[in-house]
Amino acid sequence: MTASKTRKFRNRKRGVSNAPPSTPAPLSRKEKMALKRQERQKRQKLISSWAIALTLGILVALPSFFILSPKMAAAAALGVMALILSYQFPKSALWVFLIYMPFGGTVVYAFAGGNLIFQIAKDVFYIPALFALLIQAWKNRKPIIIAKPLMPTLMILSIVCLMVLVFINLRIQLLAPACNLVSNINPPPPCKEGQPFLQGILGLKIFVGYIPLMFCGYHLIEDKQTVLKLGRLLAVLAIICCLLALVQYQFLKSGRCQATSELTSGAGLFRASLDARCFVGGSLLYTPAQNQIRLPGTFVSPWHWGWFLIANSAICFTVAFFETSRFWQLIGLGGMALVFINAVISGQRAALFLVPVFIFLMLVLTGQLFRLKRFIPIAMAIAVVGIIFVSANPEFVTDRVNSAIGRWNASPPQEFIIKQWQWAMTNGGNILLGSGLGKATNSARSFGSVAFIETYHPKLIYEVGMLGLIAFLGFITHLVIYTFKKYRSIKDPTLQSFASGFWVFLLFLGYFPYWYPLDTDPVAVYYWLFAGVLIKLTVIDKQEREQEVHNILSKNRKNRKQFKSLKKRRTTPS
């Protein structure tokens, strides 16, 4: 096989067109003037938007500086500027939103001391961008409802959530007695503590507030190159976060940061705390003498970091296996290796067990396990990295694995999940509508006491009852089936491969019973964003095929014209 044929074959396998690049027709004078006018308008919009944002930011910061504090004044100014610029440039705001998410925990504790306002600061990028995209879609007659078949189950879920908010949270807010007045009654009736309605609003936002990201993801992705850009960005973010976490571990190991044993004693040696915070992220636990290590990476807590690693094992896998560029395939492979290493050193049992399980599921369900030419080199590279890491740290790796197995044997996850279900069913208040939105959501504890439930589906039973759990699982199941049909209809190899990776992500995390990944940033963000992107991939695939047909027809038309011209010259007498 010649070199040119080999290149064409490889391009076809990667989904890259073999057609020669078509030379664009020269622009007319009118078209050139229109382009210049558009560029001038964009420049004017950028300058005016920044001028308005800076002016309003300063006007908000000045009184905040004297009334509150310099830090709050700076935060208020940046928040106002972010709101304005996110509304004016929604797609750029969504990219900034994705970049900010993995570092949000570090920002919250490094600059704001864990202030609640800063914990929801990421939404200053998301919410204005969402409204701006909705208005743009309405004005330009683009689809607002991106998947009409999903509307029935989504509406049922929305109605159940509103019923819980009104009949449980609002009823307690308006009618229930204060808890200190009925503390002696057994069993205690529903009582008011804190602000149940505001707690319900925040719980509703955390429960279903990121579902509109499906719409954002649909309109964020414009073509195949944007899909590749998304995968590359997330892989680079994963690598940066993993490297920062390695630095954090090295600081703790070398003594540059104080171990937990130097700050506390007794039960505190086994509990993550903010006092032990080191370099990046939030609360951590580092007591190697007791074989207790729980690192938060760049996030607010070790649990968030563990789920970030689990999610990024799938993202880096997608980039490593499905990218069209060799360079970015290597970047994805490096990301997978770093995720593996951090899963070992983080001390998170879920990450240590689920990262390899998730990658194996991706291999099987995307079909890469049976594509030996691509699977074997990547598997060998990962194996070499793993062998080198284990050889360099044999005792540490053995301790981490033994610790995870010991914790599994001491508290088997299946028994823990069953106990959580039983507790939620017994203490969940109204069996149909639950105890109210936000009543088991840690982020809503500033508005009242919350129950600490560590598994997602029992949490839903406690908050929104059996009706809410059934409605949610019905919507997730409908979404998984709908997106499966969509991704199977894609013909372009690269787009179908990315769609298969996104679909396995939706399938695995949508039903996973342990912890609450769909309440955890940024996993919940990735989940709904990937759902919207997957739906858009079918539209991009159709556009790609139509463009290929158009190019072929144009080429044939040009060849026919050349043939007729040549024939005419030959038949014309000299």
pLDDT tens, residue by residue, 226-251: 999 999 999 999 999 999 999 998 88
Task: Map tokens 């509150």 to a residue.
Answer: 68
What pLDDT score does 471 carry? 94
| C-alpha–C-alpha distance, residues 439 and 445, integer Å | 8
What is the band of 58 on the pLDDT scale with cuts at 50, 70, 90? confident
What average pLDDT does this structure show over 87-107? 90
Q: Decide if pLDDT at 64 tops 90.
A: no
Most confident residue range from 123-127, 137-141, 155-159? 155-159
| The token pair that represents 254 in the structure block | 């070398």
* Least confident interval from 273-287, 344-358, 547-561: 547-561
What pLDDT score does 235 carry? 94
3-class secondary structure, 293: strand
More confident residue, 277 or 24: 277
What average pLDDT does this structure show over 169-174? 88
In single-letter form, the type of residue at position 162 comes to L
Burial 544-556 (b: 16+ CB within 10 A, else e): beeeeeeeeeeee
| C-alpha–C-alpha distance, residues 248 and 278, integer Å | 6
What is the band of 533 on the pLDDT scale with cuts at 50, 70, 90? very high
What pLDDT score does 266 carry? 66
Residues 6+ apart with CB under 8 A from 126: 86, 93, 94, 97, 213, 216
| Closest residue by Cα to residue 437 from 425, 421, 448, 426 | 448
3-state helix, strand, coil split of the chain in percent (to 5) is 75, 5, 20
Residues 6+ apart with CB under 8 A from 510: 476, 479, 480, 518, 527
| Closest residue by Cα to residue 497 from 357, 367, 316 | 367
Task: Map tokens 């414009």 to a residue.
Answer: 222
Give the end-to-end CA distance of the chain in Å, rounded to a whole number: 46
The answer to whether 216 and 129 are in contact (CB under 8 A) is yes
Q: Decide if pLDDT at 17 tops 80.
A: no
What average pLDDT does this structure show over 329-355? 87
* Least confident interval from 82-86, 332-336, 413-417, 568-572: 568-572
Helices (runs of H) and strands (runs of E) counted in the chain: 21, 2
CA 429 distance to own-chain centroid = 32
Q: Decide if pLDDT at 157 tops 90.
A: yes
- 168: which DSSP letter? I
Helical packing angle, 456-488 and 196-208, nearest 10°: 30
| C-alpha–C-alpha distance, residues 418 and 454, integer Å | 12
| C-alpha–C-alpha distance, residues 454 and 519, integer Å | 11
3-class secondary structure, 287: strand
What pLDDT score does 10 carry? 53
- 191: which DSSP letter? -
More confident residue, 573 or 492: 492
- 294: which DSSP letter? E
Q: Decide if pLDDT at 116 tops 50.
A: yes
Residues 6+ apart with CB under 8 A from 364: none
3-class secondary structure, 542: helix
Say if residue 187 is preceded by a cis peptide, omega within 30 of 0.
yes
What pLDDT score does 481 carry? 94
Q: Decide if pLDDT at 569 tops 70.
A: no
Is the C-alpha dihedral spanning 196, 198, 201, 206 positive or negative?
A: negative
Q: Decide if pLDDT at 252 tops 60.
A: yes
Residues present in the chain in total: 574
What average pLDDT does this structure show over 140-163? 92
Task: Map tokens 């819980």 to a residue.
Answer: 164
What average pLDDT does this structure show over 528-538? 93
pLDDT in tens, 348-393: 888 888 888 888 888 888 887 777 677 777 777 777 777 777 777 7
What is the band of 536 on the pLDDT scale with cuts at 50, 70, 90? very high
| C-alpha–C-alpha distance, residues 484 and 150, integer Å | 13
What average pLDDT does this structure show over 438-455? 83
3-class secondary structure, 273: strand
| Closest residue by Cα to residue 203 from 446, 478, 513 | 446
| C-alpha–C-alpha distance, residues 13 and 125, integer Å | 38
CA distances from residue 49 to 45, 124, 134, 238 in whole angstroms, order as listed: 6, 16, 19, 32
What average pLDDT does this structure show over 531-537? 93
User: What is the residue-averaged pLDDT of the chain?
Assistant: 82
| C-alpha–C-alpha distance, residues 554 and 556, integer Å | 5
What average pLDDT does this structure show over 144-171? 92
Residues 6+ apart with CB under 8 A from 402: none
Q: Decide if pLDDT at 574 tops 60.
A: no
Percentage of the chain lying above the pLDDT 70 cut: 86
The C-alpha torsion from 75 through 76 and 82 to 85, rounded to 10°, is -140
| C-alpha–C-alpha distance, residues 339 and 356, integer Å | 10
Q: Decide if pLDDT at 568 tops 60.
A: no
The answer to whether 360 and 368 are in contact (CB under 8 A) is no
More confident residue, 136 or 288: 136
More confident residue, 236 or 23: 236
| C-alpha–C-alpha distance, residues 468 and 446, integer Å | 24
What pLDDT score does 172 carry? 86
What pLDDT score does 552 carry? 75
What pLDDT score does 339 carry? 92
- 277: which DSSP letter? -
The answer to whether 268 and 260 are in contact (CB under 8 A) is yes
